[in-house]
Structure 1
C-alpha cells in the first residue's frame, strides 16, 4: 500500500523535505522511492540550429541527472536500505507526473508545497496543489517550513461521506507504520440552531459507532468541533487536536461545481503548517 513512492522535485529546500519524508516512510514499509524531475526541452524558437539545440538539451539533461543524484546522495546515506531511482520527465508537469504514476503503478505521491496568497492563489496555485486536485493516488503535501518528526497523531476530517470511510484502511496502515493514533473529527458551524446542533451530535455519534464497529482493531477516537469558521479551525486545528498528519478526501464535483466553487482541499494545501494527505474519493 505504501511500497512505491513518487517524489516530484524542483530541487528546492521544500522538495528536499518531501524527499526526506518519503524516505522515512519507505524505510518503515520496505518501499522504494522514485525521485522525479520534470523539465522542458529547448525548442527551435530558442535555438534554430538543430545540432546545437540537441547538444544543449543533452547537456541540460546530464546536469539535471547530476542534480537528482546529488539530492539522492545527500539524504540516502541515512536510509541505506531504501532503493531510490532518479528519473527525468518532460513538461507539462502535472500531466507528466500523473502519467508516470499511472504507468509505473505508484502507490502514493509525496510533494513539498509552498503557501500562496491573493491573486497568485486564485489564478495559479502551486504545482503540488494542482496535482493533489487531479490525482487518483494519495498525495502527501509537506509544508515548506516543516521539520521531520515521527507522526504520532493522525486526523481524518470527515463530512460523513462514504469516501471518508474508504480512506480509513490507508490511514490505519499509516498509523500502524508509525505507531500512531487516529482521531476522526467533524467541524460544524457555530451559527446553526440548537436543534440543528443536536441533530449533528446525534449523527456524529451514529457515524462514530459505525466506524468503531467496522475498524474495531484500530485505535480510533472521535471529536466533534463547533466553529464560527471551518477554514480557520482547520488552519489552526492543532489548537483543538494536536496532530502530525491531516487527511481529507477530495470529493468529485460536477462541472458547474468545479466552475463556480474553489477547491477546499486546494485552500488547505496553502494554509496547513503540517503534512496534509489528500485522497481521491475513489482512491
Structure 2
C-alpha cells in the first residue's frame, strides 16, 4: 500500500471543474464494455443521491487486444480526450482523471484524495476470474479501507435497486459507519424490498439468529421490514443465486470479512463463485474490525461460509 499522504500523479486531464461539496462515487474504468456499464450504473446511483462521479483510469492498465488498430502510444495520447468525452456524456456532475502509477501503492492515496462514498468497477465473467480480479486489484481496498465496492456485470440491467438481497453467513458481524451509511442511503432513496438469505444451519434456528445479527450489525437504521430465506442447497452460492432469482433481486449485498481477505485463496470462496454467475450488481461491504471479538475461533478457508471474499 502507498505511503500516508502520498499524492497520486495525475496526467492528461487536469481537474479544473469546481463542484459544490458533494459525495463522490469513483468509477475505476478501462474503456471496456464492463467498465461502460459500470459508468452508466454509477450515474443512475449518483443522481438521486446528489453525488458526483469521478472516472478514474489507471495508466498501467493500458493493455491492447491482439486486433488493436492503435499503438499503445496512440492510445495513451488519445485517452484523455476519450475519457473527457465520457465524462461530458454523463447525466450527473462528472470529472475524469488518469493515474500514472502503481495501483497497490496509490489506492489509499486515491481514497484519501477523493474520499468516495463508493468505488464502482465493471465485472467481467471469465474462466480465469481470480486472475481478472487480481488484475483490477480493487478488492484489495477492503483490507485497509471502509469504502464499499460495487461490482457491475456487463450484462446488468440499469434498473433501480427495488429488490435487495442481503447474504449473511450465520456469524455476528459489524459494518463500519461509512458503509452502513451508504446502504441506508440505498434503503431510504429507493425503499426496496429487503430479503435476507442464509444457507448455513437449520432454518428454525438460523432465521431468528440471522435477523438478530443483521439488526445488531449497525447496517440498518430505524425500522426496516425484512423477509428471510433459508434455501436447502448443497453449496451456499447456489442458495444465494436461487433466492436472487426467485426474488427477482436487482442488487445483491455481501459482507467481506477481513480475516478471509488476509488469508486464503480467493477463487475458492463463495463470493467468487457468486460473482462468476450473477447478472445483477453486487455491493461488497467491508466488515468492521470489531468482528474479531465476536467471530469466534478461526476456521480454515474451506470451512468458512462466505459471503466473504
Fold conserved between structures, TM > 0.5: yes
Change beyond 3 A, Cα 1:142–1:128: farther
CA-CA distance at 1:156 after TM superposition: 1.1
The residue aligned with 1:52 is none
Q: What are the residue-to-residue correspondences of 1:1-283 with 2, within 5 Å? A: 3-40=23-60, 61-73=76-88, 75-76=89-90, 79=91, 82-117=92-127, 120-122=128-130, 124-126=131-133, 130-135=137-142, 136=145, 137-159=147-169, 160-163=171-174, 168-188=180-200, 196-204=202-210, 206-207=212-213, 215-253=221-259, 257-258=263-264, 262-282=268-288
Query: Once the two structures are superposed, what CA deviation does each residue of 1:10-52 show, in whole Å capped at 9, x if it has no partner?
Result: 111211111111111111111111011111399xxxxxxxxxx
Worse-matched range after superposition: 229-238 or 147-156: 229-238
CA-CA distance at 1:125 after TM superposition: 3.0
Change beyond 3 A, Cα 1:94–1:204: same
Query: Where is the helix percentage greater, Structure 1 or Structure 2?
Result: 1
What number of residue pairs does the alignment pair up?
253
Alpha-carbon separation, structure 2, partners of 1:185 and 1:41: 36
Change beyond 3 A, Cα 1:128–1:138: farther
The DSSP-based 3-state class of the residue aligned with 1:40 is helix
CA-CA distance at 1:151 after TM superposition: 1.6
Worse-matched range after superposition: 248-257 or 268-277: 248-257
Query: Once the two structures are superposed, what CA deviation does each residue of 1:112-144 show, in whole Å capped at 9, x if it has no partner?
Result: 110122xx234x132586312433210000001
Change beyond 3 A, Cα 1:224–1:151: same
CA-CA distance at 1:60 after TM superposition: 5.5
Q: Give the greater-gyration-radius structure (CA).
A: 1
Alpha-carbon separation, structure 2, partners of 1:20 and 1:41: 21
| Conserved 8 A contact 2:200-2:236 | yes
| Conserved 8 A contact 1:188-1:225 | no
Tell me the TM-score normalized by structure 1: 0.75
Name the Cα RMSD after superposition: 3.3
Query: Where is the strand percentage greater, Structure 1 or Structure 2?
Result: 1
Alpha-carbon separation, structure 2, partners of 1:270 and 1:92: 27
| Conserved 8 A contact 1:111-1:128 | no
